Structure 1
């Protein structure tokens, strides 16, 4: 009995000891957690204080740099335009636009939009590289929509251009249209903070990306076998668009410079077939015969109507080009007599005169076709109804491309020009350029880059008889 009591007392004592030890462990854990929490709060406060100090130092440094800008000091921008292999690209066009000016506001310099960009709404402060690229694209779109003018220059033989005497501010550098290369627009700041120094003379080195040869949709047949009007080839993903990102539009089609002729043959052929079929069936089924013959007559009438319109349109075009030529020659004679300074087009760099509601850059002669035609600039479909137009390029730069309708009095017979035939272009300035035909080729209507490629001094093009392709005459300067 005594031993049983001793065991019970021992068990009770062990339980008390365990409870005390458990309580101590809980208190120790709670104490450790409290100390860890306090330590974390201290570290957090120290870190926050450090970040505040760094931020204040950064803001102070940035503020000091902005305060150091001399808004009265002039700067410059020099471009070196070369390829990925460091080969300079000569005669490349670039235009410089001042987007914003740096203005002193009580000892602190701020950017203010200027030069016609005041309403663009583009954020220009603290831009990342990607944001700068997006801002350049937005500013370029705004410039084109509002026809803002800039300072255009071309690279020299070493691929260099420079602009001097520039005010402090932000500038948009835009490349012009090039046949073989492309590059993106960019923003240039004067001054620019480089390694805590303000540079007022900036050097920019945009790289020229080679435009790859495009792949075009399958060509369609010249004459359709049915009277159905086929849709033009769709612009699919198989078209390789040189120098264009997925966000941009696919290349445009070459101008449609032909009369609607192919339906004439189709409608007349099907109409004649229906008339014959109606006559054949009419021996047994007169009702069906009348329907077929009526449909055949309608199709034949449609062919006659299109033919009549084309004849009238050709006569109108002949009268229009004669009137334009006369007006151009009269205006040019008046300007020469009065010794007036001729205006220069900022896009083509060619002089022009205004007459008959259009601007004219010169006169084209093709002796073997007995053609003398004025050349308008820029091209548009209403202008092409009157006379040939400059599509792109310049006679002075040996890159002139002229488009015209395939009216007989315009470029309807240029596909018949033999190799070595003479072509002359007399500019408004009086300069005479004599060319000879090197070759005649037929291009796909989507071959915009192929039309622009090659070192041809003069190119003439128009639509084929069916209007689906482009007859292209390539010429070289004589002498």
Structure 2
């Protein structure tokens, strides 16, 4: 009898050791997910501004085709300084702009543009001097050792190009991080050549009948983009599936232990089995949510596709001028609350999906999004969630499978699959590297890596 008790205790210790190993594994998964969530969390960091820290501004001045513009003149003016007021930071006008009367607090994009113009007029009227520099052969120039505050960047006179003045804050709160070293990429808009009236002729001429243009006009608006220098991570495009296996495994172990111990200790058995049932119920709940979310995503992408096609048909019928996206250089239409640059078709998966631009996590909940690149430049990269109705099955595409992209402009690009690979979530450089005309990617089933499909243009 004594020997039997010893064997039973040893058996319990073995199961407890197994439980500890499973909990340790689950703890590691949990820490990894929490780390991912902490990277995307945001907070009010303006209370943490170090007003004594120096910053810098680097400019890359290039054209819409990413061609650098050399010997371009820019002048930098400090219009406001950041002053510590006992735990929080405020902007105070400085550098000769104290009497300008321009409101600099909580500016929208349009208000920032208007404020830049007003500050420039004040500078000209009061002859305020700034720090003037010219871009090098690579279109770059920089200012270092700058105090915290707000700066006005003003382009000089140029013969072939132009761009707008803009306001730059040091530091800038970007993705919940305070950046003291800013990288600014103003795009150079080419100045059209002057048109001279024709010389008058003594002979009578027949008036020329002007025909309406057949091609859609493209309106280009220059803008300033801020780039973060810190390492990036590819978007998280997967459903929350890892807890299902973890909760199921721990719940099963607890249920078994409850049954095993229950033969001797009823109270302890009930607690273990109750906890096991609770964990199993959690796994079932997450599974049910994922099923609902997949159905929601299917309905959302169908609604977005219908709205996009209706808006595109209306624009084509009315011959309206289409705007162009500054980053991709592609025309777009607005529908269902998003901007759309085209339609993606994968015949072997029976998928027809609209493509939104730019990408964001709320947009990815509706449809695939342009991550970077352009179809016109043969560098388009599209990201989407691993919902079945989105990119959930792209890892099954064989080599040679056909993929089509129809742009808003009506241009059709036909590709074929070259290879399918799996990348680390931090492999941003690998995702962007290679001479691929089209790239599609989404998360693996567990969400830890990215399934990536590389395609080449046919013909």
**2:307·2:336 contact (CA, 8 Å) conserved in 1?**
yes
Q: CA deviation at 1:340?
A: 1.2
How far does the alpha carbon of each residue in 1:11-68 deviate from its partner, in whole angstroms, 9 at most, with x for none? xxxxxxxxxx999999999999999999999999999999999999999999999999
Residues 269 and 164 (structure 1 numbering): CA distance in 2 closer, same or farther, change over 3 Å? closer
- Greater displacement, 292-301 / 211-220: 211-220
Residues 110 and 408 (structure 1 numbering): CA distance in 2 closer, same or farther, change over 3 Å? closer
**1:377·1:389 contact (CA, 8 Å) conserved in 2?**
yes
Residues 111 and 267 (structure 1 numbering): CA distance in 2 closer, same or farther, change over 3 Å? closer
Q: CA deviation at 1:439?
A: 1.1
Task: Report the equivalent of 1:462.
Answer: 442
Residues 402 and 50 (structure 1 numbering): CA distance in 2 closer, same or farther, change over 3 Å? closer
How far does the alpha carbon of each residue in 1:91-148 deviate from its partner, in whole angstroms, 9 at most, with x for none? 9999999999999999999999999999999999999999999999999999999999
Residues 190 and 305 (structure 1 numbering): CA distance in 2 closer, same or farther, change over 3 Å? closer
**Separation (CA, whole Å) in 2 of partners of 1:341 and 1:457:** 28
Alignment gaps of 5+ in structure 1: 1-20
Residues 421 and 214 (structure 1 numbering): CA distance in 2 closer, same or farther, change over 3 Å? farther
**1:258·1:464 contact (CA, 8 Å) conserved in 2?**
yes
How far does the alpha carbon of each residue in 1:330-357 deviate from its partner, in whole angstroms, 9 at most, with x for none? 1111111111111111221110011111
- Greater displacement, 405-414 / 243-252: 243-252
**Separation (CA, whole Å) in 1 of partners of 2:202 and 2:443:** 12
- Greater displacement, 246-255 / 439-448: 246-255
Q: CA deviation at 1:478?
A: 0.8
Q: CA deviation at 1:315?
A: 0.2
Residues 156 and 403 (structure 1 numbering): CA distance in 2 closer, same or farther, change over 3 Å? farther
How far does the alpha carbon of each residue in 1:170-215 deviate from its partner, in whole angstroms, 9 at most, with x for none? 9999999999999999999999999999999999999999999999
Q: CA deviation at 1:443?
A: 1.1
**1:214·1:449 contact (CA, 8 Å) conserved in 2?**
no
Give the match's secondary structure for 2:234.
coil
**Separation (CA, whole Å) in 2 of partners of 1:159 and 1:467:** 40
**1:222·1:466 contact (CA, 8 Å) conserved in 2?**
no
**Separation (CA, whole Å) in 2 of partners of 1:46 and 1:279:** 22
**2:186·2:222 contact (CA, 8 Å) conserved in 1?**
no
**1:214·1:241 contact (CA, 8 Å) conserved in 2?**
no
**Separation (CA, whole Å) in 2 of partners of 1:101 and 1:86:** 33
Task: Report the equivalent of 1:129.
Answer: 109
- Greater displacement, 270-279 / 143-152: 143-152
Residues 141 and 42 (structure 1 numbering): CA distance in 2 closer, same or farther, change over 3 Å? farther
Q: CA deviation at 1:84?
A: 23
How far does the alpha carbon of each residue in 1:292-342 deviate from its partner, in whole angstroms, 9 at most, with x for none? 101100110010000000000000000000000000001111111111111
Give the match's secondary structure for 2:227.
coil
Task: Report the equivalent of 1:413.
Answer: 393
**Separation (CA, whole Å) in 1 of partners of 2:40 and 2:153:** 31
Q: CA deviation at 1:455?
A: 1.5
- Greater displacement, 305-314 / 466-475: 466-475
Residues 196 and 403 (structure 1 numbering): CA distance in 2 closer, same or farther, change over 3 Å? closer
Q: Please point out which of 330, 334, 341 is paired with 1:361.
A: 341
Task: Report the equivalent of 1:282.
Answer: 262
Residues 142 and 328 (structure 1 numbering): CA distance in 2 closer, same or farther, change over 3 Å? farther
Residues 155 and 448 (structure 1 numbering): CA distance in 2 closer, same or farther, change over 3 Å? farther
- Greater displacement, 358-367 / 79-88: 79-88
Residues 288 and 332 (structure 1 numbering): CA distance in 2 closer, same or farther, change over 3 Å? same
How far does the alpha carbon of each residue in 1:422-472 deviate from its partner, in whole angstroms, 9 at most, with x for none? 110000000000111111111111111221111111111111100111111
Give the match's secondary structure for 1:299.
helix
Please, what TM-score do these two structures have when normalized by structure 1? 0.53
Structure whose CA Rg is larger = 1
Residues 464 and 100 (structure 1 numbering): CA distance in 2 closer, same or farther, change over 3 Å? same
Residues 297 and 33 (structure 1 numbering): CA distance in 2 closer, same or farther, change over 3 Å? closer
Residues 73 and 380 (structure 1 numbering): CA distance in 2 closer, same or farther, change over 3 Å? closer
Alignment gaps of 5+ in structure 2: none
The aligned length equals 459
Q: CA deviation at 1:157?
A: 14
**1:211·1:243 contact (CA, 8 Å) conserved in 2?**
no
Task: Report the equivalent of 2:310.
Answer: 330
Task: Report the equivalent of 1:190.
Answer: 170
Q: CA deviation at 1:252?
A: 2.4
**Separation (CA, whole Å) in 2 of partners of 1:282 and 1:406:** 43
RMSD of aligned C-alpha atoms?
Answer: 29.3
Q: Please point out which of 127, 145, 168 is paired with 2:148.
A: 168
Task: Report the equivalent of 1:97.
Answer: 77
Task: Report the equivalent of 1:392.
Answer: 372
**1:257·1:404 contact (CA, 8 Å) conserved in 2?**
yes
Residues 261 and 270 (structure 1 numbering): CA distance in 2 closer, same or farther, change over 3 Å? same
- Greater displacement, 173-182 / 61-70: 61-70
